Chains A and B, each alone.
Chain A
Amino acid sequence: MEPDRTERLRRTLKKRLAAETRETLQWTEQRNTGSPKAMRYFYDVFRRWEDPAALVGDKPVIATSCMQVPLELILACGAVPLRLCNGSHALEQAGSEFLPAKACSLVRAIMGMISVFRERLQERLSLVVVPTTCDQKRKAVETIAEGAFKVYPLEVPPSKHTEEAEVYWRNAVKKLALTLEKVTGTRITAGRLGGAVNDVRQASAQYRRLSRMQQHDPPLLSGKDMFLVMNGFLFDDVNQWTAAVARLNDELDERKQQGLFAGKGAPRILLTGSPPLAPGFKVPLLLEEAGAVIVADEVCSCSRLLDDAVVCGEPKLYDMIPAVADRYLKPCTCPIFDSGEDRRRKLMESVRRFDVDGVVYQSYSGCQLYQMEQRGVGHVFREADIPMLFVETDYSPEDRGQLSTRFEAFVESIQSRKRRI
């Protein structure tokens, strides 16, 4: 595209992106007057989306997509991980230029992010690590490289629990570690990696503590707020984020004593499927508007990020790097693998643990993986007599009315079920 048009497009998109961010904040920060004070930190972090160039600070940045990239390795090199996955309709449209019409909204949004903010990103971005997860992400590697970015495809095996997969992935992660060292010019030592592992583990500990607040009936935090908190993890400084979550947890403990809850009497929902991402949290917002409260989730922009933790047997690199690798592969419940068994079991365990009344399974229109997995997941829930609503959507705001109707009907059917029981 010619430079003038590009500049015009960029300005328009930035304005729209800022508008999307402000709208989400209106639904959360402003309408949610009962939110805990500690949420202010996360609203402020979220506000950075008004100008994503600000997401990229002064340290060297390693951009990633998906959740399989070991953050500990990036942190051990002294770099900052930045997840490119976003939920902006404006960026999705910008990215449509590079992808087929029926492509996944998320991949389009990533391309949009890269193309619209290219100059700023190129200053700070040392590398874009793209795990070869689904078809579209894998093919996007070359498209991203067209934008003159250094792209590193991280090879993800198609199986999880075979020995071959374990070896394949450990080697892939080792290669990545060497590449990161070269690109950042910093050696990964056992001390640095140990520190990074500990930082992420602390984040995981605080996340689990927060997630347990939702097991309470009624829950202590609304689903909207939970998603905003986790959104911060995708690009905020790990230690600052952990400290902020710790403060939030402390405040929620107090609120429990005072009897201040979120979503009293509302049907408890588990949201799973394609991830809701900043700045557009359409589905969680509409779902909670319809009278539900999201107490649990099984998506890669929220619980999947920090549910699992690394354990090192021996404090040396020859053990720590495979340990980090294993944590990102073995418990991963992404639908890219040939078996969805771990995901189904995790969903059932979450339903039990959080005393869930119903499940909302969302899939982006371009995502065949989630749509295909819906069958198996649906069977499991049907057998357990747990109501599940499947919705197919994308980033555009046009289907808000239709989604609302479905969510309201689902909430009403759960309420009538509960009254009978």
Chain B
Amino acid sequence: MKKIKRFFYSADIDRFRFYVQIISFGVLIYGGCLALDLGTHLPTFACPFAAGAGGTCYLFPLQHQANMPLRQLLGGRGIGLLSGLGGFFLFFIFFNKSWCGFICPLGAIQDWITRLRVRAGIRYSMYSKATFQRLKKIKYLLLILLVLLPLGISNSLFGLPRLSHDFATPYCMACPGRTVLPLFSGDAGQLAVDFSSATTTVLTALGMTVTGLFFVGAFVKRRFFCFFCPMSALQYLFSKAGLLRLTKDGGKCTRCGNCYRVCDMGIREIAEDIESRNIVKDDCMMCFKCVAACPEENCLKVSFLGATLYAATEEGFFKRSSREEKRGT
């Protein structure tokens, strides 16, 4: 049993994740063709605008459900919102934020672009500590707007006039998922500005800009988009209840910073925080690169309902390093 465990702990998690991402991509983009439908509560960017998608991202129904008069929201119809949230929660807690690292198709695309960048020898950028602290708040702002904007259609919020119906799914208009994911089924139709009204023009133009930023950003910074992602913010609200856990034993930490170095999101706290046990921060996408980079036995651990699935081991660290060296990567 111990030998099997040690074999798994020495595995190259990044390689494993690469394959999981490909399979997930397949399921989420093409699953519909095989009559797969994982529902509308997915905690990931499975886009309904892509024909043949195997499921729908939860933010889509969320925006629709927020578009309700407050009276009804707080009354019987509000239960719909709650049950939607409940469905999202149930899907979420199994994999915690590893939905971002292992399953999200937008994440996978960014990772593929990163591989191209590395092959081209272009160096990456990272945010300074101060910038990081300032920018990370944006995703919460975006999450709040995601709910407020549709709400503002059925209600007059803050004394403002009601918003036009073109604001129905504002985030879908702005989201790069809508423009990029259908491309994989041969549909380039979303890459356009909709001039039917002022609102749609602005929103779709914003969508084109965001798409551009998405691609450029991925060439400049690893997982650029994920830093601002409102889905990430929504997930983090429930992360503490996640059944899949990433924990740290601070006593073993030498503060070598290897975990922070390899972190695509650039989270310093993995290295700096030696007090917390649960080391999943709001930007974390639970890709577990940090666990693979840690040379201290059992310092970082991935567990599911108490059972350890993957842990940092000395043996694993050195095995992986020499494998990488042999591969010349």
| A residues lining the B interface (CB < 8 Å) | 160-161, 163, 191, 194-195, 197-198, 201-202, 204-205, 208, 307-309, 311-316, 318-319, 322-323, 326-327, 330-331, 342, 345-346, 348-349, 352
Residue B195 interfacial (CB < 8 Å): no
Q: Is B317's CB under 8 angstroms from A309's CB?
A: yes
Please indicate the chain A residues that have their CB under 8 angstroms from the CB of B321 in the complex: 198, 201, 309, 311
Residue B220 interfacial (CB < 8 Å): no
B250-278 residues with Cβ-Cβ distance < 8 A to A are 251-258, 261-262, 271-272, 274
A-B contact pairs, 8 of them (CB 8 A): A201-B318, A205-B318, A308-B295, A311-B293, A311-B321, A315-B324, A319-B123, A345-B251
7 additional A-B residue pairs with CB within 8 Å, beyond A202-B322, A316-B123: A205-B318, A307-B254, A308-B254, A313-B262, A319-B123, A330-B271, A345-B274
The distance from the CB of A143 to the nearest CB of chain B, in whole angstroms, is 33
Residue B166 interfacial (CB < 8 Å): no
Q: Which of A191, A314, A316, A342 counts the most B-chain CB atoms under 10 A from its CB?
A: A314
The distance from the CB of A383 to the nearest CB of chain B, in whole angstroms, is 15
Q: Is B293's CB under 8 angstroms from A198's CB?
A: no
Please indicate the chain A residues that have their CB under 8 angstroms from the CB of B238 in the complex: none
Please indicate the chain A residues that have their CB under 8 angstroms from the CB of B293 in the complex: 311
Q: How far is the CA of A327 from the CA of B259 in the complex (A)?
A: 12
Please indicate the chain A residues that have their CB under 8 angstroms from the CB of B251 in the complex: 345, 348-349, 352
B127-142 residues with Cβ-Cβ distance < 8 A to A are 128-129
Q: Is B274's CB under 8 angstroms from A311's CB?
A: no
Residue B118 interfacial (CB < 8 Å): yes
Q: Is A161's CB under 8 angstroms from B328's CB?
A: no
Complex partner residue of B256 from A191, A194, A208, A308, CB under 8 angstroms:
A308
Q: Is B325's CB under 8 angstroms from A194's CB?
A: yes
Over the window 301-329 of chain B, the binary record of Cβ atoms lying under 8 Å from chain A Cβ atoms (1 yes, 0 no) is: 00000000000001001100110110011
Complex partner residue of A323 from B118, B255, B261, B325, CB under 8 angstroms:
B261
Name A318's closest neighbour in chain B (CB-CB): B123
Q: Is A326's CB under 8 angstroms from B261's CB?
A: yes
**Residues of B contacting A: mostly:** helix
Q: How far is the CA of A161 from the CA of B255 in the complex (A)?
A: 9
Please indicate the chain B residues that have their CB under 8 angstroms from the CB of A316 in the complex: 118, 121, 123
Q: How far is the CA of A331 from the CA of B295 in the complex (A)?
A: 12
Residue B124 interfacial (CB < 8 Å): yes
Q: How far is the CA of A102 from the CA of B293 in the complex (A)?
A: 44
Name A327's closest neighbour in chain B (CB-CB): B256
Q: Is A330's CB under 8 angstroms from B257's CB?
A: yes
Total A-B Cβ pairs within 8 A: 81
The distance from the CB of A183 to the nearest CB of chain B, in whole angstroms, is 25
Q: Is B262's CB under 8 angstroms from A331's CB?
A: no
Please indicate the chain B residues that have their CB under 8 angstroms from the CB of A331 in the complex: 254-257
Complex partner residue of B255 from A163, A205, A312, A342, CB under 8 angstroms:
A342
Please indicate the chain A residues that have their CB under 8 angstroms from the CB of B324 in the complex: 312, 315
The distance from the CB of A190 to the nearest CB of chain B, in whole angstroms, is 9
Q: How far is the CA of A326 from the CA of B118 in the complex (A)?
A: 21
Q: Is A198's CB under 8 angstroms from B256's CB?
A: no
Please indicate the chain B residues that have their CB under 8 angstroms from the CB of A311 in the complex: 258, 261-262, 293, 295, 317, 321
Q: How far is the CA of A55 from the CA of B255 in the complex (A)?
A: 34
Number of interface residues of B (CB under 8 A): 30
Q: How far is the CA of A41 from the CA of B325 in the complex (A)?
A: 28
Q: Which 7 A-B pairs have the closest CB atoms?
A: A318-B123, A331-B256, A331-B254, A198-B325, A205-B318, A330-B257, A311-B258
Contacts A161-B272, A326-B261, A349-B251: A314 and B314 contacting too (C-beta < 8 A)?
A: no
Complex partner residue of A309 from B128, B253, B295, CB under 8 angstroms:
B295
Q: How far is the CA of A202 from the CA of B317 in the complex (A)?
A: 11
Q: Is A163's CB under 8 angstroms from B128's CB?
A: yes
The distance from the CB of A23 to the nearest CB of chain B, in whole angstroms, is 36
| B residues lining the A interface (CB < 8 Å) | 118, 121, 123-124, 128-129, 251-258, 261-262, 271-272, 274, 293, 295, 314, 317-318, 321-322, 324-325, 328-329
Name A322's closest neighbour in chain B (CB-CB): B261
Q: Which of A197, A307, A323, A345 counts the most B-chain CB atoms under 10 A from its CB?
A: A345
The distance from the CB of A332 to the nearest CB of chain B, in whole angstroms, is 9
Q: Is A342's CB under 8 angstroms from B254's CB?
A: yes
The distance from the CB of B42 to the nearest CB of chain A, in whole angstroms, is 30
Q: Is A314's CB under 8 angstroms from B328's CB?
A: no
Please indicate the chain B residues that have their CB under 8 angstroms from the CB of A308 in the complex: 254, 256, 295
Name B314's closest neighbour in chain A (CB-CB): A208
Q: How far is the CA of A318 from the CA of B272 in the complex (A)?
A: 23
Contacts A161-B272, A315-B329: A309 and B318 contacting too (C-beta < 8 A)?
A: yes
Q: How far is the CA of A311 from the CA of B118 in the complex (A)?
A: 16
Q: How far is the CA of A327 from the CA of B274 in the complex (A)?
A: 18
The distance from the CB of A402 to the nearest CB of chain B, in whole angstroms, is 35
Please indicate the chain A residues that have their CB under 8 angstroms from the CB of B124 in the complex: 314, 318-319
The distance from the CB of B146 to the nearest CB of chain A, in whole angstroms, is 32
Please indicate the chain A residues that have their CB under 8 angstroms from the CB of B262 in the complex: 311, 313
Q: Is B257's CB under 8 angstroms from A326's CB?
A: yes
Q: Is A163's CB under 8 angstroms from B121's CB?
A: no
Q: How far is the CA of A145 from the CA of B159 in the complex (A)?
A: 76
Name B123's closest neighbour in chain A (CB-CB): A318
Complex partner residue of A198 from B128, B271, B322, CB under 8 angstroms:
B322
Q: Is A315's CB under 8 angstroms from B322's CB?
A: no
Please indicate the chain B residues that have their CB under 8 angstroms from the CB of A195 in the complex: 325
Please indicate the chain A residues that have their CB under 8 angstroms from the CB of B261 in the complex: 311, 313, 322-323, 326
Name A212's closest neighbour in chain B (CB-CB): B314
Q: How far is the CA of A198 from the CA of B318 in the complex (A)?
A: 10
Please indicate the chain B residues that have their CB under 8 angstroms from the CB of A208 in the complex: 314
The distance from the CB of B251 to the nearest CB of chain A, in whole angstroms, is 6
The distance from the CB of B209 to the nearest CB of chain A, in whole angstroms, is 28
Q: How far is the CA of A319 from the CA of B126 in the complex (A)?
A: 12
Q: How far is the CA of A191 from the CA of B256 in the complex (A)?
A: 24
Please indicate the chain A residues that have their CB under 8 angstroms from the CB of B329 in the complex: 315
The distance from the CB of B18 to the nearest CB of chain A, in whole angstroms, is 15
Q: How far is the CA of A316 from the CA of B293 in the complex (A)?
A: 17
Q: How far is the CA of A313 from the CA of B221 in the complex (A)?
A: 13
Q: How far is the CA of A323 from the CA of B261 in the complex (A)?
A: 8
Please indicate the chain B residues that have their CB under 8 angstroms from the CB of A346 in the complex: 254
Please indicate the chain B residues that have their CB under 8 angstroms from the CB of A314 in the complex: 118, 124
Q: Is A330's CB under 8 angstroms from B123's CB?
A: no
Q: How far is the CA of A313 from the CA of B293 in the complex (A)?
A: 9
Name A205's closest neighbour in chain B (CB-CB): B318
Please indicate the chain B residues that have their CB under 8 angstroms from the CB of A318 in the complex: 123-124
The distance from the CB of B17 to the nearest CB of chain A, in whole angstroms, is 14
Please indicate the chain B residues that have their CB under 8 angstroms from the CB of A191 in the complex: 328
Name A307's closest neighbour in chain B (CB-CB): B254
The distance from the CB of A357 to the nearest CB of chain B, in whole angstroms, is 20
Q: How far is the CA of A331 from the CA of B299 in the complex (A)?
A: 15
Q: How far is the CA of A314 from the CA of B325 in the complex (A)?
A: 12
Name A206's closest neighbour in chain B (CB-CB): B318
